[in-house]
Amino acid sequence: MTAVTEKPGAISAVADELPLTITAAAAALRDGTLTAVALFEKVKARADKLDAAMGTYIVRTDEAALAAAIQADADFAAGIDKGLLQGIPLGVKDIIATSDAPSTAQSLILDPAFGEQGDAVVVQRLRAAGAVLTGKLTTMEYAIGTPDPSKGFPTPRNAFGLNYWPGGSSSGTGSGVAAGMFLGGLGTDTGGSIRMPASWSGITGMKQTFGRVPKSGCVPLGLSYDHIGPLTRSARDAAAMLAVLAGHDESDACSVDRPVNDYVGALTGSMEGLKVGVDTSFLDWQTCDPDVASLTRAAIAVFKDAGAIVTEVKLPFWDELCTSTMAGLIAEALSYHRGDMIARWNDYGYGTRMAIGTAMMMTAADFVQAQRVRRVGVRAVTELFGQYDVLINPTCLVPPPPVDNLTFGELIPSILTPYWNATGNPAMSVPMGLTSAGLPVGLQIAGRPFEESTVFRAGDAFQLLTDHHLQESTLVKEMLA
């Protein structure tokens, strides 16, 4: 097993002394100070106290999770070690099929037969690695839009303030990791749905290279933009999860057959000599929150002080590539949803039907042009990455918004994530601190295709020099007291 080099202190200040990270829990499971069953009981007790208020779960699978924890302990006792995820409680966004629970996509529309296909490939891989899957997590309906309480599903709320949104669409994964209801989980990202909730929940979220992780068994949104990926507290934990999730599978037409790197083993803890491009022009936008601007500048200073070579850059075709993602994904979504939208428009949540319905205003030529622009964008970004190892900017220009009366269209200009769905590059959000109102925001780190190791290296080194990813919510601590 890879040596644990994580900084100390990844244990909750709450009386349950929950290990905050997968890495810390994995070490405790192996040094005999914790069992998988005891770990599961800790996170289960948190869910018992927190979930009703936070809207993290759609369904919990306590019985199956306990059985998996017992098996993990039995394996440890027998000398069987399947890797860092053995015995680790993880959650699954409810648009990914699992054999032990139905899948709803948080929608009245989805045919229940979708959930009867058994485990998605990624879920099979997590189970094979010995993970303890705790249940299915809230999402925006079909991974797009905003919460619609009228449809009978839980409204996800932010661990740092219940009146705030944890981000979406992987909302439950974000809030649950932040609150310690599980130590990591699966989200999906079509325009930012891993990175946005990671940013607004104070945790880490990785959207790896398109095609790196098979997305079969996941309800599609935009088929040429969709990714399944990990949300965790630390970059090191995300690396451990991606090492299990990554790899070719022929069930996904977009899956790429390339060797999987040793993401954890490649962490050096150093940024020395790392060539970092930063586009600070976003910080001058009228929509940029002053706290986000100052926290971004502080994060950049950490990179510089750690020996990274930081240079100002301009990300090419910004507006056009963001349009390519947002227009392209809704067009692909409408092709999937048109029949149901004709028959059952009002059964869709307001935010979902308005977002996907916008694709009705596009032409076929517009869609193809969006795909031509993607090719131009990939070329331009590839040229830029000839000079830089990673490119950084804030994940979102604003802190978490109030959860009530969210409007999808108004949010989009403040979210700096869709650009990397157009190009397919890996991009990760890491926590960069709390605003003056105590709300978390994140820094986005993007890298070259299939060079997730470099992105993880930068994020891990940043987290060795900061404590933002270990920040616990005061509200959660109070609710658990």
Residue ranges in contact with other proteins by CB under 8 A: 224, 253, 317, 319-320, 323-324, 327, 334, 338, 341-342, 345-346, 353-354, 357-358, 360-362, 366, 368-376, 378, 409
Are 182 and 426 contacting, i.e. CB atoms less than 8 angstroms apart?
no
Q: Is 93 part of the annotated catalytic residue set?
A: yes
Active-site option among 12, 42, 44, 93: 93
Q: Which two tokens stand for residue 435?
A: 């605003």
Name the pairing type of β-strands 57-60 and 275-278: unpaired
What 3-state DSSP class applies to 474?
A: helix
Geometric angle at alpha carbon 325, from 469 and 330, rounded to 5°: 110
Active-site option among 12, 103, 169, 453: 169
Active-site option among 193, 216, 234, 473: 193
Geometric angle at alpha carbon 437, from 435 and 440, rounded to 5°: 45
Q: What is the spatial distance between Cα 399 and Cα 199, in angstroms, rounded to a whole number?
A: 8
Is 156 or 217 the residue whose CB approaches other proteins more closely? 217
**Nearest approach, Cβ of residue 369 and other proteins (Å):** 5
DSSP state, residue 101: B
**Nearest approach, Cβ of residue 324 and other proteins (Å):** 7
Give 392's contacts (C-beta < 8 A, 6+ positions apart). 276, 277, 278, 299, 300, 303, 443, 444, 445, 446, 458
Specify which residues 309 forms β-bridges with.
Answer: 275
CA 43 from chain centre, in angstroms, equals: 19
Q: Is 414 part of the annotated catalytic residue set?
A: no
31 burial (CB, 10 Å; 0-12 / 13-18 / 19+) is exposed
Q: Which two tokens stand for residue 370?
A: 């969006």
**Nearest approach, Cβ of residue 361 and other proteins (Å):** 5
Q: At residue 280, what is the residue type?
A: T
What residue has token string 């439950």?
172
Catalytic residues: 93, 169, 193
